[in-house]
Structure 1
Amino acid sequence: MMIGTAGHIDHGKTSLVRALTGTDTDRLPEEKKRGMSIELGFAFLEDGKAGPERDARISGKVRIGFIDVPGHEKLLHTMIAGATGIDFALLVVAADDGVMPQTREHLAVLSLLGVRRGIVALTKTDRVDAARVAEVTADIKALLAPTPLADARIVPV
């Protein structure tokens, strides 16, 4: 299964993939220097290959791949290239910013490409109060309602 990230710049897509897999998908010196993804990044979870603390999350001979896409508006073409190969969307929305232009744009791309399964990671919840989390959650539900991801779970992380 290939899981593809989607979402606005600096909402935590790369950090979330790193937390899940132990792999930093920003590998280019320019990405490190600028603190943002420029190219597609790839990471994998496979039995016994993602660290002992992660083994319990994966059973059998499962291999899960992650495609980490850039969130900057000028890199939409790169996001589209990565999104064409995904089976499941990992839409990332930061609680402090909420839904932003590239959140909407990436969601539209996912819909056009026929991605029908996904989950929303609500990141940076430690930076806001419960009222803000509730507000952003409501905004996300409204955004997803007319899309194939209308029933996607929203998970605070």
Structure 2
Amino acid sequence: MAGSSSGGPRALTLGTAGHIDHGKTTLIRALTGKDTDRLKEEKERGISIELGFAELELPGGRRLSVVDVPGHERFVRNMVSGATGIDLFLLVVASDDGVMPQTREHLRIIELLDIPHGVVALTKIDMVEPDMVELAAADVEDFLAETRYEGTAVVPVSGA
């Protein structure tokens, strides 16, 4: 693996992807302690409009730079601009919704940008019955099977 100019391993960049209101920003806040929604309008509307940024130190000291992208279809241009230079993706799918239009669109963009690896976070598992979580996970796995990301890990997560 290539080193950084300081001699250590280079920082990795992780980009979020997923449908609006599936919990991307909430998950990043839980992982990093940073609210990536900075604009007054984002806070008032409860949606990301601009790219948000956070950092996380991984075990072993490696840095992970996180780019939190908007999920709303009106802001897909912002998603694309934030997705360039990303090493890994974090596709967020809410278990109470499953795979939605922006989920599909964002994963197509990830494929076009040739982002090689990622993980799927199945969010909001505390808001649905366990059988619904299983159905949502199966929905995600079926969706991934249609792409080059078949077999990508699907990790159930909860904000509770």
Aligned to 2:55: 44
For residues 67 and 22 of structure 2, the distance between their equivalents in structure 1, rounded to whole angstroms, comes to 16
Name the stretch that deviates more: 69-78 or 128-137: 128-137
User: Is residue 25 from structure 1 mapped to residue 41 from structure 2 by the alignment?
Assistant: no
* RMSD across aligned positions (CA): 0.9
For residues 25 and 87 of structure 2, the distance between their equivalents in structure 1, rounded to whole angstroms, comes to 18
Q: How much has 1:61 moved relative to structure 2?
A: 3.2
Runs of 4+ aligned residues of structure 1 deviating over 3 Å after TM superposition are none
Quick one: which amino acid aligns to residue 41 of structure 2? E
User: Is residue 13 from structure 1 mapped to residue 24 from structure 2 by the alignment?
Assistant: yes
Aligned to 1:134: 134
Q: How much has 1:150 moved relative to structure 2?
A: 1.2
Name the stretch that deviates more: 6-15 or 134-143: 134-143
Q: How much has 1:38 moved relative to structure 2?
A: 0.3
What TM-score results when the alignment is normalised by the length of structure 2? 0.88
Structure 2: gaps of 5 or more residues: 1-11
Report matched runs for 1:101-140 at 5 Å: 101-140=101-140
Whether the aligned pair in 2 keeps the contact of 1:117 and 1:148 (CA below 8 Å) is no
Q: How much has 1:5 moved relative to structure 2?
A: 0.3
Q: How much has 1:138 moved relative to structure 2?
A: 0.9
Number of equivalent positions? 146
Aligned to 2:148: 148
For residues 59 and 38 of structure 1, the distance between their equivalents in structure 2, rounded to whole angstroms, comes to 31
For residues 56 and 20 of structure 2, the distance between their equivalents in structure 1, rounded to whole angstroms, comes to 24
Aligned to 2:9: none
What TM-score results when the alignment is normalised by the length of structure 1? 0.90
For residues 77 and 100 of structure 1, the distance between their equivalents in structure 2, rounded to whole angstroms, comes to 18
For residues 121 and 103 of structure 2, the distance between their equivalents in structure 1, rounded to whole angstroms, comes to 12
User: Is residue 69 from structure 1 mapped to residue 69 from structure 2 by the alignment?
Assistant: yes
Cα deviation digits, residues 25-63 of structure 1 (max 9, x gap): 0011111111110000000013xxxxxxxxxxx333311
For residues 92 and 118 of structure 1, the distance between their equivalents in structure 2, rounded to whole angstroms, comes to 11
Quick one: which amino acid aligns to residue 31 of structure 1? E
User: Is residue 2 from structure 1 mapped to residue 20 from structure 2 by the alignment?
Assistant: no
Which one has more relative contact order, counting CA pairs under 8 Å at least 6 apart?
A: 1
Quick one: which amino acid aligns to residue 128 of structure 2? V
Whether the aligned pair in 2 keeps the contact of 1:116 and 1:148 (CA below 8 Å) is no
C-alpha spacing 1:62/1:104, structure 2 compared with 1 (3 Å): same
